[in-house]
Structure 1
Amino acid sequence: MSVKVGVVGGGQLARMMIAPAVEIGIELSVLAEEPDMAAGLAATAVGDYRDAQTVLDFARGVDVVTFDHEHVPQDVLAALVAAGVAVHPGPGPLAFAQDKLRMRERLEALGMPQPEWAAVADAAQLQAFLDAHGGRAVVKTPRGGYDGKGVRVVRAAAEAADWLGALGEGDRLLVEELVDFVRELAQQVARRPSGELRAYPVVETVQRGGVCAEVIAPAPHARERLPEVAAGIGSAIAEGLGVTGMLAVELFETTDDRLLVNELAMRPHNSGHWSQEGAITGQFEQHLRAVLDLPLGDPSPRAPWSVMVNILGGPTEDALTDRLPRVFAEHPAVKVHTYGKAPRPGRKVGHVNATGDDLDAVVYEARAAAALFAD
């Protein structure tokens, strides 16, 4: 079998697909936004993913197109489908990842548990929601936000006046109740076009400043039915939306023992980086299998515990790779993944994975190793 997968987007997710593609004999081609991006090792084209002709020209040389991010416009996706290109996930599912209002509407139709929400177009509507929900709420721009961007906690409609004032005709903001949660979780599932589906263990994610900082797999202290319920939610969403490839469902575990859907990502996801060393089949290989409609791999854990810690920012005086000798010497069991990105405050420039039998020891190893990359 000789196949080529084309990835639109040259970030670290595309970069981390390269190794499993090489291992299983799949040729990977990347359309990067800039020549020096993280996935430049596999970039065969550089161009604007928002330009239909650029993406069509790239797609002519591959068997299936998939994505490093969800930002490719719907008209470009439609042009790919019209040209007979296999696109996974397709325009239909991606529309719900691109627009949070459409996502909320569709999840409601599917009967998925989620926070109370509303679409608001003016200050009066936003204030009415605030008044009905204890005077605090989360306001989101429906499109474009990630890693804490496009999200605000507000206590008065005036705190979102700039966003409301920038709305075009027919546009709305998403407002959600401020959920009383004990922790955030993530459920990943993989689904191939023929319908086979595999669920990974539900994991706990630790956010700092709106950015995922740590992941513990599986989620510790899980009540008896929590893994089953989380997997059921992820599977129902994947099937209900027709997702192909990897799907990550970000969840709130509430103080009254409910799971509520926060957001969706239809691609490999930060919450699944632990699986590179921690699962029998890591998320990047699984995504390639899924989009090619190949039998899916076993997502079971290899060890009782896996911990991923992001390297955020990185050193300011030297290169990330200059720190490797010390990290390797002091933490030989930890696996390091760097993204080839220049250090910058708050930027994800890499991550470390640790696995083992004792959770406290695994957490220590991952945190200590990641800390050596900071000044």
Structure 2
Amino acid sequence: MAASLRVGVIGGGQLARMMVPPAVHLGLDIRVLAETEGSSARLAATAVGDYHDAETVLAFARDVDVITFDHEHVPQDVLAALVEAGVAVHPKPEALFVAQDKLVMRERLAGLGLPVPDWARLETADDLSAFLAEHGGRAVVKTARGGYDGKGVRVVSSPDEVADWFAALADLSTGGALLAEELVEFRRELAQSVARRPSGQIVAWPVVESIQRDGVCAEVIAPAPRSTGRVAETAAEIATTVAAQLDVTGVLAVELFETTDDRLLINELAMRPHNTGHWSIDGSTTSQFEQHLRAVLDLPLGDTTPHAAWSVMVNVLGGPATGSMADRLLALMADEPGAKVHDYGKEPRPGRKVGHVTATGAELDDVVVAARAAAAHFEG
């Protein structure tokens, strides 16, 4: 049955690239609509075009059984055109809309009674002044759309620090708003990934800890150390509730703050495979990429049991200043034979995610050292 199933992925980034191996193993025909030639997912890029253009996307979707995504940025009018044409789209446009707009996300999550930071919609500088006065003089301000990896996020103590953002809002003929959130006091960041089929089956991976540097995920530890049964159960319950109530299909990652007063608050949502789930490729019976393909096709979901007590994933940021990733890989294979490397096929650039490495094992300290040592082969 699976040999005849065709999956179309919009977006040619590393997430689409990492869907290719499990698609091959499952006997699926995977096709990618990439934004540019030479994309990370170029091995499966059967088309290159603008995902903002409905005709381009409809032409790509004509011969596939389901459309899914490498990112959440496909416009709602394009998604509507796909649905109107009878194309199966997973996750559905209604769910994606929540992930596309942070204000909508906060409104929906709060309406469901799920734990989120205190927040407010900002249309003017006076709105921000009032929020700052109520929250100790500091707050996090986010653009409602488009921000990722620390972009579109500022910690401020004055409206002047986002004056350019307010000016940009004033230039929008349709209006707009920013999101203000309390500056949460947290001891660490966690992430809970689940997968859900259209028919309703949901499975979860262990909750993980993510370590951020300069607003970018640098390391992930699976499972999260010192996660009591309550933390793990609460994280899984939150993500399962989000997936079911928002009718999410495919992989859902819920980024969480563990606060200093022992609460879990939802920070962000991603309705696709996510950086915090990359460890599952080498550390879990079923990776998030295989699971996402199974889920969007409404196939039975796989076992998420970890292979080892600990998995540590370290992002390769920037890449080697001299030589190539392939050159550095040869040295790594000799020095750290147990580490698994994933090259995204991207040109090195400061701060850019060009790959990741994963190590697994029985002792956390040893696994952390091995993963960091492996990533160091690709730096400098």
TM-score (norm 1): 0.99
Q: Counterpart of 1:171?
A: 176
Partner-residue secondary structure (3-state), 2:108: helix
* Aligned partner of residue 367 in structure 1, secondary structure: helix
| Alpha-carbon offset, residue 120 of structure 1 | 0.8
The residue correspondences of 1:214-229 to structure 2 (distance < 5 A) are 214-229=219-234
The amino acid across from 2:139 in the alignment is A
Partner of 1:62: 64
Report the equivalent of 1:190.
195
C-alpha distance in 2 between matches for 1:119 and 1:223: 35
Report SS of the residue matched to 1:216: strand
Q: 2:269 maps to which residue?
A: 264
What's the secondary structure of 2:229's corresponding residue?
coil
Give the letter for the 2:155 counterpart: V
2:50 counterpart residue number: 48
- State the secondary structure of the residue aligned to 2:266: strand
Partner of 1:145: 147
- Partner residue of 1:298? 303
| Residue identity matched to 1:224 | G
Q: Provide runs of 4+ in structure 1 moved above 6 Å.
A: none
Tell me, in whole angstroms, the C-alpha distance in 1 between the residues paired with 2:312 and 2:66.
32
- The one-letter code sitting in structure 2 at the alignment partner of 1:347 is R
Gaps of 5+ in 2: none
Match of 1:17 in 2: 19
Alignment of 1:175-324 (within 5 A): 175-324=180-329
Show the counterpart of 1:89: 91
Matched residue of 1:256: which SS? coil
Partner of 2:335: 330
Cα distance in 2, alignment partners of residues 65 and 244 from structure 1: 12
Partner of 2:365: 360
Amino acid at match of 1:194: S
| SS of 1:134 mapped into structure 2 | coil
Q: What letter corresponds to residue 165 of structure 1 in structure 2?
A: A
Deviation per CA, 1:87-135: give whole Å up to 9, x if none. 0001000000000000000001111001000001111110100010000
Alpha-carbon separation, structure 1, partners of 2:227 and 2:252: 21
Q: Which amino acid aligns with 2:97?
A: A
Aligned to 1:75: 77
List gaps (5 residues or longer) in structure 1: none
Q: Percent identity?
A: 68
Match of 1:157 in 2: 159
Deviation per residue, 1:244-286 (Å, 9 max, x gap): 0000000000000000000000000000000001011000000
SS at match of 2:130: helix
Correspondence for 2:112: 110
CA distance in 1, matches of 2:136, 2:314: 35
- Matches of 1:84 and 1:224, distance apart in 2: 44
C-alpha RMSD of matched pairs (Å): 0.6
- Indicate which of 332, 336, 347 corresponds to 1:342: 347
- Structure 1 residue 317 displacement after superposition: 1.3
Alpha-carbon shift at residue 359 of structure 1 (Å): 0.2
Moved more, 158-167 or 46-55: 158-167
Q: Secondary structure of 1:225's match? A: helix
Deviates more, 1:246-255 or 1:222-231: 222-231
> Cα distance, 1:223 vs. partner?
2.6
Read off the aligned partner of 1:184 and give its amino acid letter. Answer: E
Q: How many residues align?
A: 375
Distance in 2 (CA, whole Å) between partners of 1:181 and 1:294 is: 38
Q: Note if 1:136 corresponds to 2:141.
A: no
Q: Which amino acid aligns with 1:227?
A: A
Cα distance in structure 2, aligned partners of 1:24 and 1:84: 25
Superposed, which structure 2 residues align to 1:20-35 within 5 Å? 20-35=22-37
Alpha-carbon distance in structure 2 between the residues aligned to 1:81 and 1:224: 41
Letter of the aligned partner of 1:65 in structure 2?
I
Give the Cα–Cα distance (whole angstroms) in 1 for the partners of residues 37 and 57 of structure 2.
16
